């Protein structure tokens, strides 16, 4: 799986003006000054305004689900992001739909719905704070990370800037 993801990352990086990527801990992460940024989570990247999880990430999500189900329990925190080019409310909705798509796949792979915490950040909590238009794609992602104890009901958190409400 790592080799397949690495070759996909290399082909995408070669065909676009995006920064070089490196596979670290199951995630494709941008290199900074020749070094990979260490992720604390698995990232699933999306195209433009898409909410469709690319086929290349299905195996990675399945592996996350299997690892989680074999573990001691707790929750999986699935956090959706969007880039700053989107309108604030639209970005929250887009990241929410991306989060739902990844959570649905985790459920298909055996993770119980009540053990998935769904968070929609929109553009308010960028993965990487970049003003460079050619690098905004990095923030079009969903992060999956292991959390603490499982809640009784699915949890949604939507962060909307106060300025977006005006």
Taking only the tens place, the pLDDT of each residue in 50-104 is 999 999 999 999 999 999 999 888 899 999 998 877 688 888 999 999 999 999 9
Please report where in the chains the tokens 């959706």 appear, as a residue: 80
> Which tens digit of pLDDT belongs to each residue from 116-153?
999 999 888 888 776 677 777 888 999 999 887 554 44
Q: Residue 165 contacts by C-beta under 8 Å, 6 or more apart in sequence? A: none
Task: Report the C-alpha gap between 3 and 10 in whole angstroms.
Answer: 10
151 touches 116 (CB < 8 A): no
DSSP 137-162: GGGSEEEEEE-SSPPSS-EEEE---H
pTM over 0.75, yes/no: no
Segment 7-30 mean pLDDT = 43
Please report where in the chains the tokens 């698995």 appear, as a residue: 42
In the predicted structure, residue 17 carries a pLDDT above the cut 70: no
Total count of residues recorded for the chain? 166
16's tokens: 């676009």
In the predicted structure, residue 108 carries a pLDDT above the cut 70: yes
Task: Report the C-alpha gap between 79 and 119 in whole angstroms.
Answer: 5
In the predicted structure, residue 41 carries a pLDDT above the cut 90: no
Q: Does an H or E element contain 15, and which?
A: helix 2-15
Task: Report the C-alpha gap between 91 and 30 in whole angstroms.
Answer: 22
Does domain 41-161 match CATH 3.30.1330.60? yes
């Amino acid at each position: 799986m790592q080799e397949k993801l690495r070759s996909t990352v290399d082909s995408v990086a070669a065909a676009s003006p995006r920064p070089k990527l490196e596979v670290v801990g199951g995630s494709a992460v941008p290199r900074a000054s020749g070094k990979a940024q260490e992720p604390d989570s698995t990232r699933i990247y999306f195209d433009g305004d898409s909410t469709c999880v690319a086929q290349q990430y299905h195996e990675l999500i399945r592996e996350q689900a299997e690892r989680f189900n074999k573990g001691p329990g707790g929750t999986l925190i699935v956090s959706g992001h969007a880039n700053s080019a989107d309108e604030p409310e639209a970005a929250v909705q887009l990241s929410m739909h991306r989060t739902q798509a990844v959570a649905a796949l985790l459920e298909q792979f055996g993770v119980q719905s009540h053990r998935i915490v769904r968070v929609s950040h929109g553009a308010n909590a960028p993965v990487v704070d970049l003003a460079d238009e050619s690098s905004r794609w990095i923030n079009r992602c969903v992060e999956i990370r292991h959390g603490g104890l499982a809640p009784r009901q699915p949890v949604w958190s939507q962060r909307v800037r106060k300025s977006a409400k005006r």
